[in-house]
Structure 1
C-alpha cells in the first residue's frame, strides 16, 4: 500500500504585471515557489517569479511573486 503524499498549498500574491491579475486569491503547491509561475492572460502569458519574499496578511505569510516578463502565444 502506498502512502498518500500530502502537497502543501502556499497562498501567493502577485506584484507587477497586469493590474487585473493582482487581486485574485491564489495558491500554489509549495514546490512551485522555486519555479516561474506562468498565467495565461489575453493573447499571451504573464510570468512571475518568487524571490524569497513573503508578506504577512491577516496573520498568514503570503509568498510574493513579482512580474518578470510576458510572452505571446504561438500562432
Structure 2
C-alpha cells in the first residue's frame, strides 16, 4: 500500500515553525496538525487552501490555537 505525501506550508503561529520544509500523509489534510513547540503544542488546520510554489500545489495549514503540555 502506498501513502501519498503532500507538501504543506504553515501560516500563522510561531515564525520559526513556518521555515521548515514539511509534508504529511494526504489523509492528514482532514485532521488538525499538532506540532510540539517549547512547552506546548501549536495546532494548525487545513481549510482546503492550496498555493502554487515552483509549479507544485502546497497545502496551507493555518494556525488555530496553542495548548500547554500537562505536567
Normalising to structure 2: TM-score of the pair?
1.00
d(CA) in 2 for partners of 1:63, 1:27 = 9
CA RMSD of aligned residues (A): 0.2
Please state whether the residue corresponding to 1:20 is helix, strand or coil.
helix
**Structure 2: any 5+ residue segments left out of the alignment?**
none
Please state whether the residue corresponding to 1:17 is helix, strand or coil.
coil
**Structure 1: any 5+ residue segments left out of the alignment?**
none
For residue 14 of structure 1, the aligned residue among 7, 10, 13 is 10
Deviation by residue 1:5-53 (Cα, 9 ceiling, x = unmatched):
1000000000000000001000000000000000000000000000000
Count of residues in Structure 1 that have an aligned counterpart in Structure 2: 71
Look up the match of 1:29.
25
d(CA) in 1 for partners of 2:33, 2:24 = 9
- Return the index of the structure with the highest Cα Rg: 1
Please state whether the residue corresponding to 2:70 is helix, strand or coil.
coil
